[in-house]
Every structure is written in C-alpha cells, then in structure tokens.
Amino acid sequence: MSNAANFPILSLILFTPLVGALLLLFVSKRQENLIRWIANIFAGIGFVVSVPLWFWYDPANAHFQFVERIPWIPSVGAEYFLGVDGFSVLLILLTTMMGVIAILSSWTAITERVKEFYIFLLILQAGMIGAFISLDFLLFFLFWEVMLVPMYFLIGIWGSDRRLYSAIKFFLYTLVGSVVMLLGILALYFHYADATGIYTFDITKYQAAHIPYNLQFWVFLAFFLGFSIKVPMFPFHTWLPDAHTDAPTAGSVILAAVLLKMGTYGFIRFSMPILPEATRAAVWWVVGLSIIGIVYGALVAMAQKDWKRLVAYSSVSHMGMVMLGMFALNPVGLTGSIIQQLNHGISTGGLFLLVGVVYERRHTRLISEYGGLSKVMPIYATIFMIMMMSSIGLPTLNGFIGEFLILQGAFRANLWWAVVAASGVVLGAAYMLWLYQRTMFGKIENPKNENLLDMNLREVATFVPLIILAVWIGIYPAPFLRILEPSVNNVIARLNPAYAGAGAAKLTDAAKAATTPKSAEAAKVSEAASLAEAASMADAAKAGAKAGKDCADNKPTTPFTTAPCGPDEATKPAVAAPKTDAAKAGASPKPKTGTDVPLAPPAKAGRQH
C-alpha cells in the first residue's frame, strides 16, 4: 500500500502514549486501579496502531516510507521530519509490544506513586518511538534526551536498595555520551552549511554527501562514544549492571529490550551511512572491543550470585555479538546483527520479567535463596526454560538464527573473529544452564519457597507474545529478513563495494538452510558450496579493502571535492565547494516534496522530496 493514502501513521504512533500520559495528569492519584487501566489501554492502543506498519511497509521500495515533513524551526533548518525503513519498522513494533508487556507486568508490582510511575513509562515510550522515526538530527537528539529523564526517575524512585547511586550513574554516563554526540551533529551541520550554503539537520542529505575523511574520523569518535555507552560496549558498560539490578521490573524490561538498541540503531542509521570511510577504518578496534565484551560479559555472568545481575551481564555479552555482526561489514553479518537485536529484546526482556515474578513473591534476587522451584511453580519453570533456550540460541528458537547469521558474517570477514565469538555462545549456554539448574531443580531446602504461588493468568499473558515470536523467528525468519533487505543493501552499498548488491538476496536461502533439516549428502554439497562462496567473498572483500586503501591514499586536495572512490560514486551527488559571499546572498533552492525519501545511495530515480 502506498503509505496508506498519506495517513500520518507515524505521528499517531508517536503521540498515542503522550495522550495517555496527559490524560493521567487529570486523574486523582487515589484512583489507582483507574490509573492502571488507562495506562494499559493506551499502551495497547499504541501497539494496535503500530501493527499496520508490518502490512503497509513495502520491502520492494528502497526509500524511507510513511514520510511526514513540516517546518519546525526554519531559522536553523530543523524540521518535523519522520520516516521509516525496514529496520525502523521492526524496532517500532518491538517497542510498542514491550511497552504493553512492561506496563501490564507492573499491575501489582507498583504500589506507591502509581500515577507518576505510569506517566513516566508512557513518556519513555514516546521518546523511544520518536528516536526510531526521526529523520531530522535535531529532532532525533530531542527524543534521545527525552528518554533519559523518565528512566532516571523510574530507577531513582521505584528502584531497589542502591537506586539513587544507580540512577545517577546511568544519568551521568548517558549525558556525557549525549553531549559529545551533539558536538558531532553540530560539526556535520556546519560542514554541510559551509559546503552548500544550506543549513539543515536532514539526515538523508548527510547520507548523500561526501564528507572529508579527517572530519569523518572525529565525528565517528563523537558518535561512537554516545552510541557505545548506550549499547553498552566494553569498557563503557559499567552503568548497566547497576541500572538493571536496581530498576523496577518494567524499567529493566524496557532498558534491555529497547533502550540498549538505541546505540546499535545509531551506528546503523548514522555512523555507517554518513561516515563510511571512518567506519571502515575503525573496524579492527571496534571488533576487538566487541569480542572482549562477548567473552568478558559471559565470564562475569558466570560469577554472579544475584539473579538479575547475571542477566544484566549476559546483555553485555549478547550486545557484543550484535556489534561484531554489524562491523563485519557484510550483508549477512549486518542482517544477523539486526535480527539478534530483536532476539535480545525478546529473550532478555523475558528473563527480566521472570526475575520480577519471583522477586514479587520472595523479595530477594540471590540465586542461593532458590532451588526446586519447578516443584511448586511448574508453569513458571516451563516458561523460564523456553526463555533460557531462546537466549542460548537453541535451534528452532529465535536466538539461533541471529547467532548463525552473525557467525557466518564474521567468518566471511575473518575466521578468528568467528572462532572467538563462538566461545561466547558456549559460555552463554554454561551460565544459563547453571542458573536454571540452581533455581529450578533439586530439593526445596528453603521453607519460604514451599508455598510459592505459580504464575497467574495476567503474568502468563505477558509471556505469550514473547514465546510466539521466539518460535516464529526460529522456525520461519524469512518475513523478517525480507523486510530488512533494502535497508541492509543501502547501508552495505555505502560501506563495502565488494558486497554491494550481492549476498543480501541470499539471506532467505541461508535462513532456510539454518532451519531446514538436510540429508547427509545434501549437507556435504551445501557445505562445499558455502566454503567456495566464502572464499569468493573473501577475495572480493580483499579487493574492496585495497580499493578503500587506494582511496585513502588519493584523497582530494580540497576538503569539499568528492573523492574518486567509494561504493556509491556512480549515484552520489557531489557536495559543492563552499559558496562565495555573493552566491550565499542568493536564494537557496527549495527542497523537493513528495511522499518517499530515498535512502543513500538512491537506487533509481523516483518520488523524492
């Protein structure tokens, strides 16, 4: 469907939780049940109105879709500019779904300041959605900062023992990264204005422009600090275990399922397509930090005595795997990275929900306090087993296809990356199985656990969509891969000419190979074909790397001249040299208008702004 007759669906999704928060302001704080109902209803409406994105989004259209664009602050070139691609669509659906689950899970967990709690949750929901749909850098930064405040209060007011320490640590870490990132945004803003005479925060214009390598390098570092803190990558991860441990259950779920994805989204949406040369130059040290995070997070998780803290460190390991797939700089690895982001939101969000269920009953997170829970809570033990296997990456569940694609992409880039990363998968299975054995099996030695109530209908309902998605992605991931294909192709076309236009089309076949049983003879043929293809792609990657080096050695003499290299030179519009004062005095060209905005680089001429 062509943008559903220009219906402003993105604004509807964005403002629905804000309307709910505004309505709660006029409800008496004594009417706690009414407050809970209103919050849950508006969270549910937010999810319902986001579902059409799945059906209306056209994977065959390589442009940003559902575009909404009106002037916001014309004096500085800022616009209310919204649009989505396949990556954004999946993250929006994840956000609205996890918002419903987080709010529903808090029905009995929150008994103090109920009104304020749900208002902050709904504002946080709007901030996350806004960041995923903004195509104006200033608007994106606004939503990025909006997310910081409600999460700070959620941890600081409704958290556990060390909540103030954890809230301040979270706030300061994120704020430092945000300030440095803002400097990078302003550097791009003024560079583009000097080069073209046009002041704009339009992300699509930055993606289509050529930026000198020396500026790319510094802006990449600025963005890296802001995004890597949010991921979080080693060694910027130290705020995460504290924030997760002391946050209320709903806060931990949203933090793990959505907020951490803000960092990875920033790399894919901004750093990679806008700063391709700096991205290629940073691959080795970013991959090094990612691999350290994979192994370090898993080893530290194995040593934890606190249930919630163990799951928190598992996030450090899993997000390291996501970053590895991303910086393999090939379509298979990047697609696996995005799929694994969704998988992490499903599995780790579910694990934090499970911790919250037993914490409500026992008010302790110490693993040693539990044991034999499967005897008194069989439904709980069954759901825990599914979520645990999802996190481990058991075949037929969602975690497997993400890890398979990431390791395949890492193998194509460098064999040893895949070997070391695979050790993180083994360690992940070790600490998860150890956790399950200690808590679910054995005798009930603590008398406080003998009369624990099993999960009720409301608690089970929060896990139903997670289990459905875990099985769906694990058995039939093709719809998710198909919706991502144009987004992945456009990013890879900017980054790696050796893979541009190739490999991404084979993702569905790769997924089928990962999820369909084979005969021994067919498996051998497939293995031989995969090895031959890997060798071919490796040769192509070496050629692309050599081309990139030649490009770096032959940089233009003036900072605003388009470099004669890169994957998109045939279609990329050159950025003009700085205008003279007389030229700047003239009228600036008016922006084009339309319904779709082309991703950079544009595949073909079509409807544009």
pTM of the entire predicted model: 0.81
List the structure tokens of 398: 């969602």
pLDDT tens readout for residues 397-453: 999 999 999 999 999 988 999 999 999 899 999 999 999 999 999 888 888 888 889
Of 293, 238, 252, 257, nearest to 428 (Cα)? 293
Residue 299 lies in a domain: yes
What is the reported pLDDT for 81? 94
Residue 107 clears pLDDT 60, i.e. is over it: yes
Instruction: Give pLDDT, residue 548.
Output: 44
Structure tokens at 244: 């997760």
pLDDT higher than threshold 90 for residue 349? yes
> How many other C-beta atoms can be found within 10 angstroms of the C-beta atom of residue 458?
11
Name which of 382, 388, 421, 389 is nearest 404 in CA terms.
421
Contact between 129 and 93 under an 8 Å Cβ cutoff? The reply is no
Domains in the chain: how many in total?
1
Q: Tell whether 262 is covered by a domain.
A: no
Domain contains 40: no
Both tokens of 500, joined, read 């541009």
- Full domain range(s) for residue 465: 275-533
Residue 46 lies in a domain: no
Q: What is the 3-state secondary structure (H, E, C) of 343-410?
A: HHHHHHHHHHHHHHHHHHHHCCCEHHHCCCHHHHCHHHHHHHHHHHHHHHCCCCCHHHHHHHHHHHHH
- DSSP category for residue 550: H
First and final CA of the chain: distance in angstroms? 19
Q: Specify the amino acid at residue 606.
A: G
pLDDT tens digits, 271-284: 999 999 999 999 99
| CB neighbourhood size of 272 (10 A) | 25
Burial class (CB in 10 A: 0-12, 13-18, 19+), 446: middle
pLDDT at 7: 83
Overall average pLDDT of the 570-585 stretch = 40
- Kindly report, residue by residue over 293-327, the tens digit of the pLDDT: 999 999 999 999 999 999 999 999 999 999 999 99
pLDDT attached to residue 258: 93
The mean-pLDDT minimum among 65-79, 119-133, 140-154, 581-595 falls in 581-595
Residue 489 inside a domain? The answer is: yes
Sign of dihedral through CA atoms 77, 80, 81, 87? positive
* 8-state DSSP, 134: B
Distance CA 109, CA 154 (A): 13
Cis peptide before 52 (omega within 30 of 0): no
Checking if the pLDDT of 529 tops 60, the result is no
Q: How many CB atoms lie within 10 A of CB 135?
A: 27
Q: How far lies 141's CA from each of 111, 128, 422, 546, in Å?
A: 33, 11, 36, 36
Cα–Cα distance list, 492 to 346, 564, 566, 599 (Å): 26, 18, 11, 12
**113-140: per-residue pLDDT in tens?**
999 999 999 999 999 999 999 999 999 9
